[in-house]
Amino acid sequence: MREEDRIRAGVLFTPGDPELKAMKLHTHNLNTVYNQTMEDETEKRAQILREMLGQMGEGVFMQGPIYFHYGCHTKIGNRFFANFNLTVQDDAEVTIGDDVNFGPGVTIVTPIHPMIASERNQILDPNGKKSRLCYAKPVHIGNSCWFGANVTVCPGVTIGDGCVIGAGSVVTRDIPPNSFAAGVPARVIRPISEADSMKYKPEVLGGCQVIEEE
């Protein structure tokens, strides 16, 4: 079994495997190229992202700098926006839905290392070789989510559609759809409801109007 297949199976794999290292090097170099572009070099940026990512929808904008680990394990929907300093350590699959917005400093991580120090240092791989091994769990983020600044999403988490995650939160467990969650670790504070509509905040609307759903 290839190490890439072991990642997908959710079992221990060798991050130092030559094939995996080559994949990561390719993406790390593309990160560097992207981060050296000007913000208005939109075509060049889009071309780099298309080469880097497993899937990317329309209307994607990443302020930069960006830091993807594999890139090819990440699938992003339409109209995604990421502010400064996005980090995605996508050893396992990361999926991000449509109309998702990230504040600055958002981090998504999927790999998990053994808790016991000696096991972190070395475990026998299937061939009997002493190796540094880890495993990874996928992260899934639904449609129309908004993450505040410096949110960290931990391995294995699914965040449902329409969620808001408060700034500085560390998300360690699944968040149900249409929830406001915050804290370290993040917990659901309350459901998001019609009472949260901007139409009830005339002091900040400043002459704007909420578009009523048909």
Residue 34: which of 73, 60, 15, 3 has the closest Cα? Answer: 60
- How many angstroms separate the CA atoms of 31 and 202, rounded? 43
| Pairing, β 135-136 against β 111-112 | antiparallel
The verdict on whether 113 is a catalytic residue reads yes
Catalytic hit among 28, 73, 113, 140 = 113
Instruction: Read off the amino acid at residue 106.
Output: V
Contact status, residue 19 vs residue 2, Cβ threshold 8 Å: yes
- How many angstroms separate the CA atoms of 11 and 6, rounded? 6
Q: List the catalytic residues.
A: 113
